[in-house]
Structure 1
Amino acid sequence: MNHSRRLAAAAAASILLTSGALASAPAYAQTQAPPETALVVNARAAAHGSFDRFVIDVKGKIPPTTVKRVKELRYDGSGNKVPLPGKYFLEIKLSPAAAHNDAGQSVYKGPKLKKLNFPKLKGMAFTGDFEGVVTFGLAFKTKPYWTTFKLHHPERVVVDIAH
C-alpha cells in the first residue's frame, strides 16, 4: 500500500512538472504582483531665502529613499570620483528605482553633473542607475543640515538644506 502511494505521488509530480504547473517562479508571483520600479525622470536644485532645495522627480510610487553623509562622491559601477568641489557630501539613494526603461533607454532628463553657487549647495551629480538603485550626490563647502520629505501630484523627493 505504501509503495503504491509513492508511485502515485511520483506520477502526479511528473505530470505537473511536464505540464509546467510547478515551474519555478519568484515567491512574490505566488501571492502578489512584483514590486513596481519607480522611474527617476529629473532632478533640479534651487536657492530659497533660508534653504537650498534639491528635488528628484519620480514617475510611479516614490521608493524608499536614504540620505546620508559620505566622505566623497563616487560613480556607481566605475567607482570613479565625482569631480565636484566640496568638503562635505550627501549621497541620496532611491530603491527600487531606475532611470531607464525596459528597453534600456534613459528616461532621466536632468543634469548629470552641475556646479552651483547657492548659499549652501555647491554641486549636484547623477551618480548611478545600477541594479535597481538610482543615486545622486550633493556637494557642500560647509557641513550640511537637511530635511527630507516627499511631495505628491507629481511625485517627488525633496531635500532641503538649511542656510
Structure 2
Amino acid sequence: MKKFVQSAMVAIVMVASFNAKANDKIANDGKNDPVKVVKEEESSIPAIRLISKPDGSSSFEVGTIKCLQHLNTSTFWMNNSVEDWEKDTHKAPRRQYVVTLKGRIKFKVTDGSTFIVKPGTVLLAEDTSGKGHSWEMEDEDDNTWVRLYIPITEGKEDFFVPNK
C-alpha cells in the first residue's frame, strides 16, 4: 500500500507540473501576479500556503514545492462535492496539501486579500487556528471543484519554499 501511495503522489506531482507548464501564468486577484509558472529547469511546482498569524488572522505566502520531493504523507482522498461548513469562513481542519484537478477557486484571507488556485498550483492549507479563510468558485458556469486532499504527517515538514 505504501508503494501505491508513493507512486500516486509522484503521478499527482507530474500531472500538476504538466498543467502548470500548460498555463502561461497563474494569477491572484489582478492587483499583481505573485505566482508565475516556474521555469522547467528549476523543477518546482507553484504553491500557495495559507497560514494562521499570532493575532488570529489568516494570510498566505506564495512559493514553490520541489518536484519529486518525497512528501510527509501517508494517505489521500479525492472530492468533487462541497459540504455546508466549507461554504463559510473556516480554518483548515488539518495541515494538508490540496491539489486541484479541475476548477478555479478564489480564496480570501482575513485582510480581504485574494488569490486564485487552479490546476497546476498546490495549496497548502495550514491555517488551522484563528479565523481561517473563505473561498468561492471562480467560474460560475462550471461549478465543479475536483481535488485531492493529502494530509501532512503531524509535526513533519511541508517542503514549501517561499518566494524571495
- The structure whose Rg is larger is 1
Q: TM-score range by the shorter chain?
A: under 0.3
Normalization by structure 1: what TM-score? Answer: 0.26
Normalization by structure 2: what TM-score? Answer: 0.26
Judging by fraction of residues, say which structure has more strand: 1
